[in-house]
Chains A and B, each alone.
Chain A
Amino acid sequence: MPAIKSLEELKRVREEALQKKQAKAAAGNIQVIVAMGTCGIAAGARDTMKSVLNYIETNNLSGISVTQTGCIGLCEQEPILQVIVGEEHKITYGKVNAEIAQQIMKQHIQNGVPLKDHVLPI
């Protein structure tokens, strides 16, 4: 990445980043986001993350991007995992341990049915 030297260049980079994201969403790409602040990690977010990655690997899934984010303010509900399917709304799950993560991957990501019991009403 060459250094950005003007506001115009910054704007271009910004638009590219946005487009990349939109293109992915439009193509039905699935985003799995694990909240990895200290509170999340303390509650076991690393295991959750591992579980998600394992599932993707063992089942040979594609079109899923797994990313992390910081604390969203609901420390009590950690580990928190969010799913965005294509251009749909973000769905936020609370208290997602490795096992629930597997269920989410199977039911929500593969079969398209969110796990009602674990969804946080936000």
Chain B
Amino acid sequence: MKTKRAMIVVSNDVESIRLGSNEIVQHLHESLAAYGLQEEVDVSTISDINYSNVLPLVIVYPEAVVYGPVKVADVRYLVEEHLYKGRIIPDLLAPPKQLTGQIGSLRSHKGYNPAEQRIILEHAGRIDPENIEEFIANHGYEALGKILSENTPEQTIEIIEKSGLQGRGGAGFPTGRKWRFVHSAKGSQKYVICNADESEPGTFKDRIVLEGDPHLIIEAMAIAGYAIGANEGYVYIRGEYGLAYRRMEKAVLQAKEFGFLGSNIFGTDFNFNIHLHAGAGAYVCGEETALIESLEGKRGEPRSRPPYPVTNGLWDKPTLVNNVETLANIPAIIRNGADWYKSFGTPSSPGTKVYTIMGNVNFSGVIEVPMGITLREVINIYAKGMKPGSTLKLAQTGGSSGSIIPAVLQDTPMDFESFRKAGVSLGSGALLICDQHTCIVDLVKVLLQFFRFESCGKCTPCRIGTQRTYEIVERISQGLGKLEDLDTLVELTSEMERASNCGLGQTATVPIRDMLKHFRTEVEAHIRLGVCPTGVGEFSKESEKV
């Protein structure tokens, strides 16, 4: 028998059958035989599919291309084009929005990144990032040209507002509204800042855009500048991202040469320039006001707010701070319109999200998928399942200050609203998938270690709180904890959340809260029984005093 190189799955729920899915299966077999492919391609059916208006569906793996609605008459063409010639048929594709929710629990056994929807990473990994012509060949700078020649700043902001785009830097603030704030702030000098500090452990989505598609960020920043009335932009790039810095540097030079930066862009009276700034390795400098302080040459400590950067930002001027991934959406939205953008994701969280996947799974890497996909789907479909012998115990979403969610929550759709309802934060998009051998106490200890280092020390609740909570959790991990420690943890976390000056101190507590909420028994086992159920705890080191 030949090895199967592809698998076709046909939906056969009641509605699909009514619309002819059985005939489709029959015709598939016939057409495959006609092309001599019957040995290479498997055909099977699936009933629990969560689609409604595009049935019957035909899904082709390993690419997981979803066609629908498919008619019997389409079958032969589909086999000829896709399976014989290897070409995807755009006209038959199911609308991308249908890719949210369950795409069936089937795992594509071979392929990579099935059914992805790329907006943000459209060009990354496909074009030469150091060649501006390749960017232009892929509609690069068209959105900027369009906006400058056809739209007022007001209209530009309206498009972004209508698209429903929310900030991807962590908080999910509506981007259009932020643009409007800066646009209406008083003052003739304004600034655009691209936050490319990306220091959240395990997150590297922004780096991929900067390294793989630097012109996209330049184009987006120029559009933002036009919309809010700024002619200077800064990109604050994480210090460790040397390659990203060099690629951006080169891209800025090329953009100047082609006239996309500088004076009288596209023959209009709009001027815009971009400056690059490398960070120096402090996590807190990703916080927008600390970032601004750092840009001004001061020590990177968050400011007291209000006033917010939208009115009093860089050099006390109105300033727009947006994350790299947020900005990366802008050109596509302008080119294709707000309605197009809203056709991806969920009504309350339109668009796509880039996730970096790592942990005890078969595939780690980067994916871009529609908002609203579930963790189970990410693990089973994109991460190719848990490693052999591993079962899912918990996942951490969004880097160190993100939530730790237990396996029971893996069917929560990953979008801003659903996560907020479930008390979970989507954060930066880092997905750390952990199996049964992960000790929750150990994990939280490592996270607190990070915060203890990164607290800038400006305010007491965070400076002392991150230190004391770390010490307590470390004690528990060594089998030296007391039950009262848990009450102290609760008390400390509430104080930190209430009184810390910035997001670092306010969210450093999330892992502790989640640990006590979802894994209290495991923590108590460390204390009451003096054992670490997963065998990770360093009980033997008891005598080594901290």
Contact = CB atoms under 8 A, between A and B. Distances in A.
Interface of A: 1-7, 10, 13-14, 17-18, 20-21, 33, 35, 37-38, 41, 67-76, 89, 120-122
Given A13-B136, A121-B111, A76 B259 contact: no
Contacts of A4: 141, 145, 258-260, 266
B316 interface: no
Contact of B125 (A1, A20, A72, A89): A72
A7 B141 CA distance: 9
Given A10-B141, A71-B124, A122 B111 contact: yes
A44 to B, nearest CB: 15
Interface in B131-185: 131, 133-134, 136-137, 139-142, 145-146, 149
Interface of B: 62-63, 86, 110-113, 121, 124-131, 133-134, 136-137, 139-142, 145-146, 149, 204, 207-208, 211-213, 241, 243-244, 257-260, 262, 264, 266-267, 363-368
Nearest to B254: A1
A122 B112 contact: yes
A69 B127 contact: yes
A3 B258 contact: yes
Contact of B365 (A14, A75, A89): A75
B207 A38 contact: yes
A19 to B, nearest CB: 9
Contacts of A41: 243
B258 A14 contact: no
Contacts, number: 119
Which 10 pairs from chain A and chain B are nearest by CB?
A70-B212, A3-B259, A72-B125, A17-B137, A5-B267, A73-B366, A7-B145, A17-B133, A121-B110, A67-B128
B353 to A, nearest CB: 14
B208 A37 contact: yes
B243 A14 contact: no
A69 B128 contact: yes
Contacts of A13: 133, 136, 258
Given A3-B258, A37-B207, A37-B243, 16 more contacts: A2-B259, A3-B262, A4-B141, A4-B266, A5-B264, A7-B146, A13-B133, A37-B208, A68-B130, A69-B126, A69-B212, A71-B124, A73-B125, A74-B112, A76-B364, A122-B113
Contacts of B149: 6-7
A67 B363 CA distance: 27
A42 to B, nearest CB: 10
A115 B125 CA distance: 22
B142 A120 contact: no
Nearest to B61: A121
Nearest to B247: A70
Nearest to A74: B365
A69 B63 CA distance: 22
Nearest to A71: B208
Given A37-B211, A67-B131, A71-B212, A121 B62 contact: yes
Contacts of A120: 112
B128 A68 contact: yes
A67 B137 CA distance: 15
B365 to A, nearest CB: 5
Nearest to B137: A17
Contact of A71 (B86, B146, B211, B264): B211
Contacts of B259: 2-5
A13 B134 CA distance: 10
B4 to A, nearest CB: 12
Contacts of A17: 133-134, 136-137
Contacts of A35: 125
A56 B208 CA distance: 29
Contact of A73 (B111, B113, B130): B113
Nearest to B243: A38
Contacts of B136: 10, 13-14, 17
23 contacts: A2-B259, A4-B259, A5-B259, A5-B264, A5-B266, A7-B146, A7-B149, A14-B140, A37-B208, A37-B211, A37-B243, A38-B211, A68-B130, A69-B128, A69-B129, A70-B208, A71-B212, A72-B124, A73-B121, A76-B364, A76-B365, A120-B112, A122-B112
Contacts of B211: 37-38, 70-71
B129 A121 contact: no
Contacts of A122: 62-63, 111-113
